[in-house]
Structure formats: structure tokens, C-alpha cells
Chains A and B, each alone.
Chain A
Amino acid sequence: MLRFAPAIAIAVLALPVIGGLAGTLLPAFGYLPALGGEDLSLEPFRIVLAQPGLLRSCGIALAAGVVTAAVSTVLVALFVGGWSQTRTFRFIQSLVSPLLAVPHAAAAFGLAFMIAPSGFLARLVSPWATGWDRPPDWLIVNDSLGLSLMLGLIVKEVPFLLLMTLAALPQVPLAASTRLSASLGYGRISGFLFTTWPAIYRQIRLAVFAVIAFSSSAVDVAFILGPTTPSALPVRLVQWMNDPELTSRFMASAGAVLQLGITLAALLIWLLLERLGRMAVMHFCGEGRRFRADRTMRHLTLALIVLTALIVFGGLAVLALWSISGLWQFPNILPDTLTLRGWIRALPQIADPLWTTVTVGLASTALSALIVIGSLARERQVGRAGNRWALFFLYLPLLVPQAGFVFGLKLFLTHSGVGATWAALVLVHMVFVLPYVFLSLAAPWRAFDPRYEAVAAGLGKGPWTTLLAIRLPMLSRAILVACAVGFAVSVGQYLPTVLIGAGRLVTITTEAVALGSGGNRRVIGVYAFLQMLLPFLGFAVAALVPALLFRNRRAMKVA
């Protein structure tokens, strides 16, 4: 039975991506027999390219991908270099980690509530410092250069890259290199960049690529924070995809292919930047430059990292406050009155999306966890970890822009008569949940002391008893955390839910983003609060269940 787990995992990851890509490519070239498209043509591309402001839309998507990745990577490298193995580092690590679980849309709303002209930051300094008693007429959120969009992406990608880096750290001799380079007179940051970073970067490279792919094609964040005239390409793409006019499906497919091209271009630009970065590091390293005076740099990096965390946490707190606020006039820092009216008004409509969110999240997580556990157990049996191909399949759904293949999947489902079913939604969520469950569980699973299993086998127990009675309970904490990560990923899914759910299956996230355009802060507050509450509950369960189950077992507590 275990024998098939890796194959199932690869099928779950690869089939939807490859099938979906085909389902997008063919209509993009005019082939979709169900709608009478029998001949290949470039007409769909001609229509897309004729759209007004298209170049600008593409430029914003491209810039969002490259800038987000560059800023996040540099920030993480400088921070790890400047602060690793300090108490500050551990504190920041625990501060930033929960950010990973906050859905992108909720973080984007939080950011918007902070930095908008009528937002919390402006209120903090008004009117005493600014003289404003009305919000200034500035375009901060939805600015035409997409700066707030990039900021919204950066505050989410920094925690992601930081955690990926932390996972890679144990495999490099960090402490020894730090001491060695310090003894040779190098500054903390330069010593780290010269001796340790290249090895770390090699390990997190796919994650950085995933950041580029996500940032250049993210729909929900661009919808909330991105420019509007014209919107970034991913946003316009979804508008085309949701156009009820059937013939616009050709155009939407061509747009999706264009999106693939934009993401690919962003990746190519990144490869160039990688090379430039490597040359710069090698140049300075070759000159023996010490950069000993890096105090300012270190503290600047620390300040920026703390700022990203504070801005999201602050934003989330402001969101929660808005959901229970009555009148809240500018420039008051706190609401004038508190009321549950927003919640009472929203509750009747919430039940249905909440049910879909929770059941789809639980189902896709449970199935993914089973497949991941099966694959890891099989890996133990055959005695080798997955090779490079396994890692490639794992990252495949994270490297191909969602719009590029989910739309093709949707077309396939629609025209094969499956339509917007709960099961289809669960399957599509699994494509994104499974990689994260695998990535979080693989390290603790592989670190498990195999001698426990040898002992159990010596006591006459078969592989299944050993798995169920020894390994799984001993890894219960890691498994539940991996599940919590998976659940958070499912809750945060916007585009796949919108496309596959097709308006019939809605979740808290799709509702929140849809309501975002309405601009009612109380309603947005309610939905965004639920959006962050659900992942938080997942992690709370993951912490509480083992704590209760093993309350009398000291060695089962977190070290």
C-alpha cells in the first residue's frame, strides 16, 4: 500500500499542473472544440495585446515579482548574517514565524488599514504633527507604481524566506564560519556573505523562485493593494476569466499564457541578478574587504524586519478593532464607540463560506497528510530520500503561476461536466497544500531516531504496528504542525477557489476579497479577522492536542 504513496503524491502535484497548462495553452491558440474553436489561430493573443494599458499591467506584475524577491532575499540575508546566534535573532524568529500562517489577503487588508491616508499610522500623527483633521487626498494604497502592492508582498515573503533559511542553517557550519571569519577581521555581515550565504542560497533557491512566481502572479494582494488604472495583469486576468461571455475564454487563456511569460521573464531577470550578486560578493571577497563597520547596517536590517512584523500585526489588530467599531472618525486613534453590529450583520452570510472553508481545508489537509506520511514512510523502506525530481515535483505547483494552470483545469472541469463541486475544490487545494505539508514534515520525519523502530521490530512488531504505535505518536506534534500549515495554506487560497468554486462555492477568503472592493471597513474587518482566526485555531489545536495527550510525558514536550 505504501508502495503507491509517492506515485499518488506525484500525480496530485503534477497531473493538475500539466493538464491545466495544456487546458490553458490550447484555447489560447484558439482550440476549444466545445466552444467551436477547432482551428489554431493567434486571434486570442491579438485581442489580449489590443487591451488598453496592457503594457503597464504587465510591467507592474513583472516588477512586483522581481522587486519583492530582491528586497525579501537581501533583507533575509543581511538579517541572518547580522544577527544569527543572538538572543535578538531567536526573539525575531518567534515574532515572525506566526506571520507565515496569516493569509496573504488578510495581511494585505491589515497593511491597507495601516498605511491608507485615513489609516492607523496617519491617525497616530494627526492632527498634532500633521495638522490634518481630514485624511489627506493621497493615493497610498493602490498607488500607480504598485509600491504598496510590493510592500504587501514583501511583508509576507520575508517570513517565508526567513523560515526556509532557518531550515537550511543546520546543514552549514555556521558557528565555526562565524568565528573563523571574525578572527580574520571580517565584519559579521561580510563574513557571513563570504563564507556561509552561498551554501544557504543554493538550498533556498527554489523557494526564492516560488516567491517570484507567486509575487508576479498574485491576484488577491494585487486586487487589494495594487494599482487600478490599469490593474496589474493577474487582476485583469481574473476579470477576463470570470467574463460570462463564453468567447472571452479564448482571450482569458491567451492572457494566462501571457502571465506565464511574465513570470518566466521575472525568473530570467532574477537569474541575471543572481549572477550580478555573485560577482559582487566574489569581487569584494577577492579584494579581502572586511566591512568591519557594519553596525549601522545591522541595526537598519533589524529595524526593517521588526517593521515588517509590526506593520502586519498592527494591521491585524486594527482590522479586528474595525470589526467591532461603531463610529470611528478621523483622526481619532481609537473608535468612538464599540458595537457588534458588524458581526451581527455579517453572521447570517458567514455560515456558508465558513463551512466551505473549514471542510475543504480539513479534507485537503487530511488527504495531503496521509499521502505525505505514506511517501515518507516509503522513503524509509527503500532507504533513500527523494531525488532532485521529487523536489522538482514538490515545487512545481509553487513555481507555475496559479493563473497559468488553474484556469485550464477549470475549463476542463466545466466542459467535462464536473463543474464546481466540493470534491473538485478539495483536489485543487491539495495541489497547493501537499507541498507545504511535505516541506514542514520532511525534516522532523527524517530526523527521527531509527533505533526506536529497530527496538520495536526486535520486540516482534511489524512495520505497521511500529508506524502506528511508535513513530506517528512520537511525531504527533510535528505532524499536527504540518497539518496546521496545510490548513492555513488552504484557508488562504484565493484564485483556485474563485475559479474552481465559480461563485457557487465561496470561502472566507474569496468573500473577503470580493467585499474588499466595497470598502466597508467593518465588514472587511469581520471577514479578514476570521481569515486570520482560522489558521490561528489550527496552530492552537496543533499545540494543545499533544500537550493534553502527553501531559504526563516530559520528553514529549517542546524542547
Chain B
Amino acid sequence: MPDETAGLRLDAVRIRLNGRELVAVDRHIRPGETLTVMGPSGSGKSTLLAYVGGFLDPVFSGEGRVVCGGRDIAHLPAGDRHAGILFQDPLLFPHMSIGGNLVFAIPQSVKGKAVRRARAEEALDDVGLSGFFDRDPDTLSGGQKARVALARTLMAAPNFLLLDEPFSKLDMQLRGQIRDLVFDKAKRSRLPVILVTHDAADAEAAGGEVIEIGRDAA
């Protein structure tokens, strides 16, 4: 019997813009599973991620429970939800080194400068970027940046992952490679994932349930 409180449950989640309903979702995403949301651009599919992550633009109104580990997090500030987010762009903080980006993500409970640095170095090894600690993010290739972004997200020990078309700007060759890496890590860490995409190949690779939104609006 699977644990019904594990994973991420979207309970009657509705997102509206000026009274018009954009998104309506009721799903339970179990640990290691992926819910893929597909829809044309402008359909509001990214607002679902924003609602779950806690950074919904106030022009939208959202309602419904987001239950994570048996607790409704929909009213918590974004900083307390522990959502690992990957966007289209790697969004590495340009004023920090690669290592600085990773150390920034390590929870405060990990004490000691040397310990934190060692953790970050380990994470870099793990994504095949050993020795990149002191590098300037802007000097990395697109694929390398994507891997740092993934490592940074996992570093913070998130409770779930929110993926906003994270592979769409990578070229074909890299796309498959990074995609496999991301889903592999998510499965191994038993993280529930919400993926927003308009690429059917992403949905296929994710392997979970697919819902389509905004068809009638388009």
C-alpha cells in the first residue's frame, strides 16, 4: 500500500486571470514521478509552476491546496517551500563563481566554510564538472551551465522539482543528455516533478502522466 501523504498533491488548484480560468489541476504526484503539463505558449501553463513555487505574479489569482509531505504549503512564503526550480535559462547568479552559486544553495544547517565548500565540490564532481569551483559562470558552455543549474537545485535538498521548459534552449544533442541527467537524478532522489513543456519528446522522456491545458483558449 503506497503512502498517500508522500509526494506532491495538487488539490483543486485553479489559476485565474481577470476571472478567466487558465489552469485547473487535481493530481497526486508520487515520489520519483513526473506530471507533464503541455499547452501552447500563452496558455498559462507556467503560472501553475509559479503558484506551486510561490512566485505567482499578483495579477493572477490562484487557489487550491498544494500538499507536500502531508502539509499544505500553498500559503507559505516561497523561501519556505523548498521547491527546486529549473527554467529555460540556467540563471546562474552572474556575480558569483560557480562554487559561490552552489554554496549559496547549501542549507544553513550545514556549518563550516570548509565543509560547505567540500559539499559543493562533490556536487560538481557528480555532474562531471570537477575543478570548476572558481570559474566564472559566463565562461561555461550551455550544457555545462545547465548541469551547474541542476546541481545547484539539488544542493538545496528540495522537496519537489518544478521544470519550466528547461531543455528547450539546448541544442538537440545536449537536450537528450541533460534531460536524462535531470530525470535520473529526480528518480534517484525520489522527487516528485512537475514539468511544463511544449516538446512531446520531453513528455515522453519524463514517462509520467501528461495533461494538456489551454487548448480551447488557443
Contacts and interface: CB of A to CB of B under 8 A. Distances in A.
**Size range of the chain A interface in the assembly:** 20 to 34
Nearest to A453: B55
Nearest to A464: B79
Contacts of A449: 91
B95 A556 contact: yes
Given A451-B89, A553-B94, A554-B139, A461 B79 contact: yes
B32 interface: no
Contact of B136 (A450, A463, A470, A554): A554
Contact of B94 (A459, A461, A462, A556): A556
Contacts of A458: 53, 78, 81-85, 153, 156, 158, 162
A451 B87 contact: yes
A552 interface: yes
A465 B93 CA distance: 14
Contacts of A462: 77, 79
B138 A457 contact: no
A473 interface: yes
Given A554-B136, A555-B137, A460 B95 contact: no
Interface string A452-483: 11111111111101100110011010000000
Contacts of B53: 454, 457-458
Interface in B71-117: 77-85, 87, 89, 91, 93-97, 104-105, 107
A392 interface: no
A466 B91 contact: no
Nearest to B92: A555
A455 B94 contact: no
Nearest to A461: B79
B99 to A, nearest CB: 12
Contacts of B79: 457, 460-463, 465-466
A344 interface: no
B104 A469 contact: yes
Contact of A474 (B81, B93, B97, B139): B93
A382 interface: yes
Interface in B50-75: 50, 53-55, 57-59
A363 B107 CA distance: 37
A550 B95 contact: yes
Interface in B111-169: 136-139, 152-153, 155-156, 158, 162
A31 B139 CA distance: 70
Contacts of A552: 97, 136
A480 to B, nearest CB: 14
Nearest to B49: A454
B85 A452 contact: no
Contacts of B95: 473-474, 476, 550, 553, 556
A33 interface: no
Nearest to B149: A455
B137 to A, nearest CB: 7
Contacts of B58: 382-384
Contacts of A463: 77, 79
Interface string A538-559: 0000000000001011111000
A376 to B, nearest CB: 15
Contacts of B156: 458-460
Contacts of A550: 95
B100 to A, nearest CB: 10
A452 B91 contact: yes
Nearest to A451: B87
A459 B137 CA distance: 18
B104 A459 contact: yes
A262 B48 CA distance: 57
A461 B96 CA distance: 16
A433 to B, nearest CB: 27
Interface string A367-407: 00000000000000011100000000000000000000000
A473 B97 CA distance: 13
Contact of A455 (B80, B85, B107): B85
Given A449-B91, A455-B153, 5 more contacts: A382-B58, A459-B152, A461-B79, A476-B95, A553-B137
6 contacts: A454-B50, A454-B78, A458-B82, A459-B152, A459-B156, A550-B95
Q: Which 7 A-B pairs have the closest CB atoms?
A: A383-B58, A457-B78, A555-B94, A554-B138, A555-B138, A458-B85, A459-B156
